C-alpha cells in the first residue's frame, strides 16, 4: 500500500474506540481534479475542483465511513452487519464485511437501485433483501432489528461512519493548503454533509485551515430539507439521494447554516445536464454525484453566488459506472456497421 490507510493517517483526529481493528481496502486519497474550462464558462476568475470520490475501492465515498464502521464492529466482536441503502452503502458494507469475514445484510428499495451497486453488493457476497417500500422504510426496519438482535448497524446513524467520512475534509485541506471558500455536495440521508462540517471544523481548530461555506444540494422530488417537512414518496432520477426522511437532517441544516451556506434543490434535468457536462470534462459520475455542482452552477447563474476570487470544491460522490443504465437509456443506440472499410470511412468522415 503506497499511502497509510485513512484510519492510521488521521488517527489522532478520529474518535474511534480502543477496540477498533483496522479493516481497509486502501480507501481515500482521491484526487482533486481542476476544471478550468467550466470555471471560465461560469465567468472565470476562480478555481474550481471536483473531488472524485468515485475512485474509492467500491466506487463511492461510502468506503471512508465503512472502513471505520466495520473496523469498530469487528473489534467489538460483531458477526453480522446490516444497513438500509439506495445502493452505494450496500456495496461498501458488503465489501468491507467480506474483507473482515463478517456477514452483511443489506436492505434496498425494490427496483430503485442502480445496476452497478446491486451487482456489487451481490458480488461481495451480501444477503440482499429488497423491501416493498422506500429507503426510509428500509432504514426504519434495520434500526428496529438492531434493537432486537446483536447486529451492527452501519448506516450513517452509526457515529463511526461520520468519523471515517471526516477524512475527506482533511484531505481537501491538505491538498489545497486550506479549506476552500465553497464546498458543494449532494445531500440524501445527510451523513456526508454532517461529516464534512465536523471535519472542517476540527481541522480548523487543530491547524487553522479555515472553514468553507457549504452548499448542500437535494433533488427537487426528494427535498425534505428544502421544503421543511418529510417527503413520503420521494422520486428522482438520482436514486442515490431518493430519500424523504434524512436521518441526519437536523445536523445538515445546522452545518449549512453555521457555515454561512444553504441547502437547495435542483431538478432532474439539471442533474442529468451536469452529469453530461462533467463527462465532457472526462469525469463520469453517477447522477446524484452531479447534483452538488448542478446546484453551484444554478446559484452562480442566478447571481446568488459570486465565485470571483474564490476556491470551490464540488464533491462527486460516486462513479458513473455505478449507474450505466441511465446513460444507455438516454442515448441513441451506437451506430451499427457491416465489416466494411468504406462504410467506416464514410461514418467517420461524414
Ligand atoms: N451521493 C451518492 C452517490 C450517494 O450514494 C449518497 C447516499 C449521497 C450522495 C448522499 O449522501 O446520504 O450522506 O447525504 N447514499 C446512501 C446509500 C443513502 O445508501 O448508498 P448522504
> Per-10-residue mean pLDDT for the chain, 350 residues long?
87 98 98 98 97 98 98 98 98 98 97 94 98 96 98 98 98 98 98 98 98 98 98 96 97 98 98 96 98 98 97 98 87 90 94
Task: Say what the pLDDT of residue 302 is.
Answer: 97
Backbone φ and ψ for 188, nearest 5 degrees, come out as -120, -90
Task: Say what the pLDDT of residue 153 is.
Answer: 98
Q: Which three cell numbers stand for residue 180?
A: 476552500
Instruction: Map residue 188 onto helix, strand or coil.
Output: coil
Q: 58, 107, 189: which to mutate for ligand 1, most atoms within 8 A of CB? A: 189
Backbone φ and ψ for 208, nearest 5 degrees, come out as 50, 50
d(CA 327, CA 287) in angstroms, rounded, equals 10
Nearest-CA residue for atom 15 of ligand 1: 240
* pTM score: 0.97
Q: Are 150 and 103 in contact (CB under 8 A)?
A: no
d(CA 93, CA 107) in angstroms, rounded, equals 11
Q: Give ligand 1 pocket residues (Cβ under 6 A).
A: 60, 62, 85-89, 156, 186-193, 240-241, 286, 288-289, 317-318
d(CA 82, CA 339) in angstroms, rounded, equals 51
Instruction: Map residue 313 onto helix, strand or coil.
Output: strand
The number of angstroms, rounded, from the C-alpha of 224 to the middle of its chain's C-alpha atoms is: 18
Q: Are 246 and 134 in contact (CB under 8 A)?
A: no
Distance 158 CA to ligand 1 centre (A): 15
Strands (E), the chain: 32-34, 47-52, 80-84, 103-109, 127-131, 152-153, 182-186, 213-219, 262-266, 311-316
Q: 241, 242, 285: which to mutate for ligand 1, most atoms within 8 A of CB? A: 241
Task: Say what the pLDDT of residue 163 is.
Answer: 98
Instruction: Map residue 60 onto helix, strand or coil.
Output: strand
Task: Say what the pLDDT of residue 2 is.
Answer: 67
Distance 189 CA to ligand 1 centre (A): 6
Task: Say what the pLDDT of residue 331 is.
Answer: 75
Instruction: Map residue 307 onto helix, strand or coil.
Output: coil
Amino acid at each position: 500500500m503506497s499511502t497509510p490507510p485513512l484510519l492510521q493517517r488521521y488517527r489522532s483526529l478520529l474518535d474511534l474506540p480502543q477496540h477498533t481493528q483496522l479493516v481497509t481496502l486502501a480507501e481515500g486519497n482521491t484526487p482533486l481534479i481542476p476544471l478550468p474550462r467550466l470555471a471560465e464558462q461560469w465567468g472565470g476568475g476562480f478555481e474550481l475542483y471536483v473531488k472524485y470520490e468515485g475512485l474509492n475501492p467500491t466506487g463511492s465515498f461510502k468506503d471512508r465511513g465503512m472502513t471505520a464502521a466495520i473496523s469498530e464492529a469487528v473489534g467489538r466482536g460483531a458477526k453480522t452487519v446490516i444497513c438500509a441503502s439506495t445502493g452505494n452503502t450496500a456495496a461498501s458494507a458488503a465489501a468491507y464485511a467480506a474483507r473482515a469475514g463478517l456477514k452483511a445484510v443489506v436492505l434496498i428499495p425494490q427496483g430503485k437501485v442502480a445496476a452497478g451497486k446491486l451487482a456489487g453488493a451481490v458480488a461481495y457476497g451480501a444477503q440482499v433483501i429488497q423491501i416493498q417500500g422506500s429507503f426510509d422504510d428500509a432504514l426504519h426496519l434495520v434500526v428496529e432489528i438492531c434493537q432486537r438482535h446483536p447486529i451492527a448497524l452501519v448506516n450513517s446513524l452509526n457515529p463511526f461512519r461520520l468519523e471515517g467520512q471526516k477524512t475527506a475534509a482533511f484531505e481537501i485541506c491538505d491538498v489545497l493548503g486550506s479549506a476552500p471558500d465553497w464546498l458543494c455536495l449532494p445531500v440524501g440521508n445527510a451523513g456526508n454533509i454532517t461529516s464534512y462540517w465536523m471535519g472542517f471544523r476540527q481541522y480548523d481548530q487543530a491547524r487553522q485551515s479555515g472553514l468553507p461555506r457549504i452548499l448542500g444540494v437535494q433533488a427537487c422530488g426528494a427535498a425534505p430539507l428544502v421544503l421543511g417537512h418529510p417527503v413520503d414518496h420521494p422520486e428522482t432520477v438520482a436514486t442515490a439521494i431518493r430519500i424523504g426522511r434524512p436521518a441526519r437532517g437536523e445536523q445538515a441544516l445546522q452545518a449549512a447554516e453555521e457555515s454561512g451556506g444553504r441547502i437547495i434543490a435542483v431538478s432532474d434535468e439539471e442533474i442529468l445536464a451536469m452529469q453530461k457536462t462533467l463527462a465532457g470534462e472526462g469525469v463520469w459520475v453517477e447522477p446524484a454525484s452531479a447534483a452538488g455542482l448542478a446546484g453551484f452552477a444554478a446559484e452562480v447563474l442566478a447571481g446568488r453566488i459570486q465565485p470571483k476570487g474564490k476556491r470551490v470544491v464540488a464533491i462527486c460522490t460516486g462513479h458513473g459506472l455505478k449507474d450505466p443504465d441511465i446513460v444507455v437509456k438516454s442515448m441513441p443506440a451506437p451506430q451499427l456497421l457491416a465489416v466494411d472499410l468504406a462504410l467506416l470511412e464514410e461514418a467517420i468522415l461524414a
